[in-house]
Amino acid sequence: MKRQEDLTLDPENWEEMRQLGHQMVDDMIDYWKSIREQKIWKPIPTDVKEFLDQPLPKKGQDPKEIYDEFKQYIFPYNKGNVHPRFFAWIQGTGTPLGSLADFLASGMNPNTTIGEHAAMYVDRQVINWCKELMGFPMDASGILVSGGSMANITALTVARNSVDGLQIRKNGLRQTEPKLVLYCSTETHSCIDKAAEIIGLGSDSVRKIPVNESFEMSAELLEQQIESDLAAGLSPFAVVGTSGTVNTGAIDPLDELLAICKKYKLWFHIDGAYGALAKLDPRYESRLKAIESADSLAFDLHKWLYVPYEVGCTLIRDAKKHRNAFAITPNYLLQEKRGLSGGLDSINHYGFELSRGFKALKVWMSLKEHGRDKYAQLIAQNNDQALYLAELVNQHAELELTAPVCMSITCFRMIKNGANEEFLQDLNREILLRLQEEGIASPSSTVLHGKYTLRIANVNQRTRMEDMDLLVRKVLRLGREILKLGAEI
């Protein structure tokens, strides 16, 4: 056979690739530096959507051309959560060093599951720092996952598999009598419902306990429900408390939930995807103290630690239960005492995913760059900004708060004497859409006690107090404009 030149995907011209890489870094730094001056969002033109809907390329293309296409068709139409006035859903801003760390991580490209290599130790270091941040014992275990949803299902899987005497890994849930029941509140994030469905509990086994006026779970009703389920021959096994609900930032009465879990010997899980990190703000420290005693905790680092997407964390108090829920060793994943397959316990023993990127690096670099104290200040600053916004709202008779402010979420809306709910919904929806379409700010919306409302969730490291002033000014301007045009809504 005639010997051919060996193929590779590496560049033919390394110097050109180096230049292109430098250009990308320059462009990205210019972007971050001037983000405040840019529109937060713009609609995507039809030609861009068409460009992004083409058949698979058969032949390759010059990287420089591809980058030009990126700059023309993709870069300008970003979601906007890097912008100082992004307040929709709960989405973090990211940081420059965090992004550069992601580049380094993908350049090294270690599959961070198994083996003796530095990424495994960085991963372990980050998990240990997460335990420290949350006041978890050092002999607890943990795993970095893609985000809060994954962190919650990981924890609930451990909770389910740890139910005494059932051997669920072997038997599955079909054989299980009596039926397992999970408790959370009506304000709990939908990922808990999904998790319950996926781990085989089914949505009928999830009890949604009512909340009080401040959207916090009623401990009294929780206990009543547990009692009545026990009386009906069911098996309560876990309670999910939320530290910072997605709607309003409410905190369930975690101390009381913990006491109930102790009394009935239930697994106490906390969904702190958004708000566990408020623990660093002294104002919330005591209300979140119970996190330290939970059986498991899920929290996101891409939200309130401002680390670029994606990364979340599950912590499990009892490392043995954690490992017992997932560990499995096929022949092709044996660990040796020495060599490349030696080293730390495989991370695959602590979760579902086998292949894992080196997401720990961006967290490691970020925590080193800023230190715990700076994060505590930033989180407190977001909480201050939410309170300041509420003050501004209270100064205007045309605006009203629609929920008590907790953590960094402020919910408010424009009102008008004599207007019914439908009218107010149309008015506030129109304000919201114009704020976004004019590229001013990106709040999102929700419905609280039947009231359609603007929702400002702030886990943004670029927001300043002046952004709150501007937001209120613009809401009032747009609202007044729409009201004068009346007919349009």
Ligand X SMILES: *Cc1c(COP(=O)(O)O)cnc(C)c1O
Q: How many residues bind ligand X (CB under 6 A)?
A: 14
According to the binding rule CB under 6 A, does residue 242 interact with ligand X? yes
82-121 residues in contact with ligand X (CB under 6 A) are 90
**Selected range binding ligand X among 4-12, 116-124, 146-154, 254-262, rule: CB under 6 A:** 146-154
**Selected range binding ligand X among 54-62, 216-224, 269-277, 401-409, rule: CB under 6 A:** 269-277
* Rounded Cα–Cα distance for residues 284 and 16 (Å): 52
Q: H/E/C letters for each residue in 87-132?
A: ECCCCCCCCHHHHHHHHHHHHHCCCCCCCCCHHHHHHHHHHHHHHH
**Selected range binding ligand X among 44-52, 225-233, 249-257, 270-278, rule: CB under 6 A:** 270-278
Contact characters 274-313, ligand X, x per CB under 6 A = x-------------------------x-----------x-
Minimum distance of ligand X from residue 192's CB (angstroms): 8
Q: Which is nearer to ligand X, 207 or 430 (CB)?
A: 207
Please choose, from the candidates 184, 187, 190, the residue with its C-alpha nearest in 3D space to the C-alpha of residue 221.
184
Asked whether 238 and 269 are in contact (CB, 8 A), the reply is: yes
| Residue number with the smallest Cβ distance to ligand X | 148
> Looking at 153, 184, 238, 246, which residue binds ligand X (CB under 6 A)?
246
* Rounded Cα–Cα distance for residues 50 and 220 (Å): 56
310-339 residues in contact with ligand X (CB under 6 A) are 312
Pull the structure tokens for residue 486: 């009346």
Minimum distance of ligand X from residue 212's CB (angstroms): 18
**What is the Cα gyration radius of the chain?**
25
3-class DSSP state of 11: coil
**Selected range binding ligand X among 41-49, 61-69, 109-117, 147-155, rule: CB under 6 A:** 147-155
Minimum distance of ligand X from residue 275's CB (angstroms): 7
DSSP 217: B
Q: What is the spatial order of strands in the sheet that 180-185 belongs to? A: 141-145, 312-316, 296-300, 267-271, 235-242, 180-185, 206-209
β 451-457/312-316 pair status: unpaired
According to the binding rule CB under 6 A, does residue 463 interact with ligand X? no
> To 5 degrees, how large is the angle CA 80–CA 35–CA 97?
90
Q: Which is nearer to ligand X, 186 or 394 (CB)?
A: 186
* Rounded Cα–Cα distance for residues 16 and 24 (Å): 12
> Looking at 94, 98, 142, 148, which residue binds ligand X (CB under 6 A)?
148
Q: Which is nearer to ligand X, 274 or 364 (CB)?
A: 274
Q: Which is nearer to ligand X, 102 or 300 (CB)?
A: 300
* Rounded Cα–Cα distance for residues 323 and 263 (Å): 26
Q: Which is nearer to ligand X, 243 or 346 (CB)?
A: 243
- Residues found near ligand X in the complex (CB under 6 A): 90, 147-149, 189, 191, 242, 245-246, 271, 273-274, 300, 312
